[in-house]
């Protein structure tokens, strides 16, 4: 599929790309109350781990993905997610022992309404490392609402989703870069109370997320080097839609679909952690764009939408002819590392 569009893959993973480095320093989480047994585990992890290895408690750990739990009672939404260690095949034959929410990377799509109160529980099933949740969609004091949850414990937090948008969420535990780059990121859509002015025109809508991968758990590589892979994923917004991880070729294997004449809406977010996305659909122009997904930020006639790390948008475009429409980040060094998706348009 890539060759068809002239974007050949150059991501071959050398043995060195698979060399693993030690986990980040978790010692500064010692202030959180943990059982002595747990403390011992954490200390083991933060001790001088040998480089080039999966941290000991994660060895042989591949936790089955746990479905997102979400229940609504009026405007109160009860959400439970897990932090867990799950293998993700980033590209054919290359498994990454990802740090994840619910066994997906990016994590599961969360959709709520403007004004909802979120009662969020993080069930940290990682036996070794604290994790946390930072929703960009809420106002909270981070040292209260986004604090670490110790291994094998649960933490519950409440806050309001008061602004509409296409927001990133991520683990905020130190070192944040390790936690995000190892897979702990995702998207929460806060639907505007009054909708978007173009709601009635839209025929199909999808969610697309861009993220990068680096050498396995290698904070030095994540900090100073270029990504090994840059990828798109899609999350099912409606029943029957594909739901993928951020893997090379994910949206070629499960292309988005539309009919000739459809106006297609994509909720897009670039979760980074480091790179900017220049989101572009080949063969069309965005009729309407709502930057960060807020109806107040309405633009028209854009060719490419720049998404900063964590930035989102709602983009809408019309497909006037049957065919295969690739979408890319127009930073083509990243497109060649995997960031190409596909929309198949039929009569």
Residues contributing to the annotated binding site for Cu cation: 131, 136, 170-171, 179, 184, 330
- Residue nearest Cu ion by beta-carbon distance: 171
Q: Which of 88, 90, 161, 171 binds Cu ion (CB under 5 A)?
A: 171
Q: Does 179 bind Cu ion (CB under 5 A)?
A: yes
Closer of 184 and 319 to Cu ion (Cβ): 184
User: In whole angstroms, what separates CA 231 from the centre of its chain?
Assistant: 10
Report how far residue 184's alpha carbon sits from residue 169's, in angstroms, rounded to the nearest whole number.
8
Residue with tokens 């029957």: 240
Report how far residue 99's alpha carbon sits from residue 170's, in angstroms, rounded to the nearest whole number.
11
Closer of 216 and 325 to Cu ion (Cβ): 216
Closer of 168 and 335 to Cu ion (Cβ): 168
Closer of 23 and 313 to Cu ion (Cβ): 23
Stretch that binds Cu ion, among 104-112, 174-182, 206-214, 308-316 (CB under 5 A): 174-182
Binding mask 61-90 for Cu ion (x = CB under 5 A): ------------------------------
- Report, in Å, the least distance between residue 99 CB and Cu ion: 6
- Report, in Å, the least distance between residue 95 CB and Cu ion: 19
User: In whole angstroms, what separates CA 23 from the centre of its chain?
Assistant: 21
Q: Does 280 bind Cu ion (CB under 5 A)?
A: no
Q: Which helix (H) or strand (E) holds 69?
A: strand 69-73
DSSP state, residue 50: P
Total chain residues near Cu ion (CB under 5 A): 5
Q: Does 124 bind Cu ion (CB under 5 A)?
A: no
Q: Does 204 bind Cu ion (CB under 5 A)?
A: no
Residue 315, judged by CB atoms within 10 A of its CB (0-12, 13-18, 19+), counts as buried
Alpha helices in 217-306 (DSSP H): 219-224, 250-253
Q: How far is CA 36 from CA 18, 26, 140, in A?
A: 34, 16, 30
**Tally of residues, the chain:** 347
Q: Does 58 bind Cu ion (CB under 5 A)?
A: no
Q: Does 97 bind Cu ion (CB under 5 A)?
A: no
Bond from prior residue into 175 cis (ω within 30 degrees of 0) = yes
Q: Which two tokens stand for residue 224?
A: 């100073």
Whether 154 contacts 122, CB under 8 Å: yes
Binding mask 180-199 for Cu ion (x = CB under 5 A): ----x---------------
Residues forming the site for Cu ion (CB under 5 A): 131, 171, 173, 179, 184
């Amino acid at each position: 599929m890539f060759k068809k569009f002239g974007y050949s893959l150059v991501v071959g993973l050398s043995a060195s790309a698979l060399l693993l480095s030690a986990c980040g320093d978790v010692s500064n989480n010692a202030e959180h109350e943990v059982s002595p047994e747990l403390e011992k585990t954490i200390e083991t992890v933060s001790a001088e781990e040998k480089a080039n290895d999966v941290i000991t408690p994660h060895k042989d750990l591949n936790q089955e993905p746990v479905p997102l739990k979400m229940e609504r009672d009026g405007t109160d939404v009860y959400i439970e997610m897990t932090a867990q260690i799950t293998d993700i095949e980033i590209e054919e034959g290359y498994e990454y022992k990802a740090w994840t929410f619910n066994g997906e990377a990016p994590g599961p799509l969360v959709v709520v309404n403007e004004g909802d109160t979120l009662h969020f529980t993080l069930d940290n099933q990682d036996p070794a490392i604290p994790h946390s949740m930072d929703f960009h969609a809420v106002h909270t004091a981070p040292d209260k609402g986004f604090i670490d949850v110790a291994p094998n414990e649960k933490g519950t937090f409440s806050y309001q989703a008061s602004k509409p948008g296409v927001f990133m969420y991520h683990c905020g535990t130190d070192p944040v870069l390790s936690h995000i780059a190892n897979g702990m990121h995702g998207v929460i859509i806060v639907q505007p109370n009054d909708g978007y002015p173009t709601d009635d025109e839209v025929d199909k809508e999808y969610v697309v997320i861009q993220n990068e991968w680096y050498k396995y758990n290698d904070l030095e590589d994540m900090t100073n080097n270029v990504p090994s892979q840059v990828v798109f994923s899609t999350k099912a917004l409606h029943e029957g839609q594909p739901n993928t991880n951020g893997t090379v070729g994910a949206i070629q294997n499960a292309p988005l679909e539309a009919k000739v004449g459809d106006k297609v809406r994509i909720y897009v977010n670039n979760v980074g952690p480091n790179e900017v996305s220049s989101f572009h659909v080949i063969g069309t122009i965005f009729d309407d764009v709502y930057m960060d997904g807020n109806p107040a930020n309405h633009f028209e006639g854009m060719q490419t939408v720049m998404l900063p790390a964590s930035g989102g948008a709602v983009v809408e475009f019309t497909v006037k002819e049957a065919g295969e429409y690739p979408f890319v980040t127009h930073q083509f060094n990243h497109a060649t590392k995997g960031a190409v998706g596909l929309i198949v348009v039929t009569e």
